Chain A
Amino acid sequence: MMEYRWSDLYIGLRHEFDATFSEEQAAAFAMLSGDVNPLHVDKAYAIEAGFPCPVLFGMLTSSLYSRLVGVYLPGKFALLQGIRIDFSSPCYVGDHLHVVGEIEFLSEAYRRLEIKATIRKDDGKLVSKALIKAGFHGN
């Protein structure tokens, strides 16, 4: 886990990591969120709707933005303050997802940073993009 302090940060500071979701994780998200929409949990329904298999929840894949902020950028002392997400294409269990985040704005007064982030598949296809607002907790 990174432990950046405010003075360590600069515009352009960047982190990236890879992730994959399993069927068990998708099922756990359905249980936790209560989102049992068949597009996400019913294979036959998803195929009939034109997808190769159930579509991963957008908010599940977007949980990687939480990991980006809380573990990498800025890491331990982060306090997530807001996030705007746009979804671009569906992804599925087993897809290799590449998460990249880069600081694009710093506001000294209240120590607010803004991160532009993306999640892409192996082939570069954009899954989602996000503008994340984060601050710091503690000293």
Chain B
Amino acid sequence: MDNILEELQPIFRDILDQPNLVLTRASNANNVDDWDSLAHINLVVSIEKHYKIKFALGELQELKDVGDMIDLIKVKLAAK
């Protein structure tokens, strides 16, 4: 569970087509190129599939950056 950032990196690299992207907890749609609305949907769906979890729209609207996403993933995984 501590490796979520490392696990997210290849997902983001693939979907955003940025093979050298270095993801941090502070990464967000404002500081990562091409992270637009459709890419965001693709990221969320890929994360749901990877971890076999489901997000609610309200949960996603609260997220400010990748760190928040990681924390939400941890909550979801702990609840499985």
Could you say which of B38, B44, B60 contacts A81, with CB atoms under 8 Å apart?
Answer: B38
Scan A75-90; emit 1 where CB is below 8 A from any B CB, else 0. 0000001100000000
Please tell me if the beta carbons of B56 and A107 are within 8 angstroms of each other in the complex.
no
Cβ distance A26 to chain B, nearest Cβ, rounded Å: 31
What is the total number of residues of chain A having a CB less than 8 Å from a CB of chain B?
11
- In whole angstroms, what is the CA distance A105 to B49 when docked? 9
Counted as pairs of residues, one from A and one from B, with CB atoms less than 8 Å apart, the total is 33
Please tell me if the beta carbons of B44 and A110 are within 8 angstroms of each other in the complex.
yes
Question: How would you classify the secondary structure of chain B's contact residues: helix, strand, loop or mixed?
Answer: helix
Please tell me if the beta carbons of B60 and A109 are within 8 angstroms of each other in the complex.
yes
Please tell me if the beta carbons of A82 and B44 are within 8 angstroms of each other in the complex.
no
Q: B60 to chain A: which residues have CB within 8 Å?
A: 109-110
- In whole angstroms, what is the CA distance A96 to B59 when docked? 47
Query: Which chain A residues numbered 54 to 82 have a C-beta less than 8 Å away from chain B?
Result: 81-82
Please tell me if the beta carbons of A109 and B42 are within 8 angstroms of each other in the complex.
no
Query: Which chain B residues numbered 24 to 62 have a C-beta less than 8 Å away from chain A?
Result: 38, 41-42, 44-45, 48-49, 54-57, 59-60
9 closest Cβ contacts across the A-B interface? Answer: A109-B55, A110-B41, A107-B45, A109-B57, A112-B45, A109-B60, A107-B48, A112-B41, A109-B44
Q: Which residues of B contact A (CB under 8 A)?
A: 38, 41-42, 44-45, 48-49, 54-57, 59-60
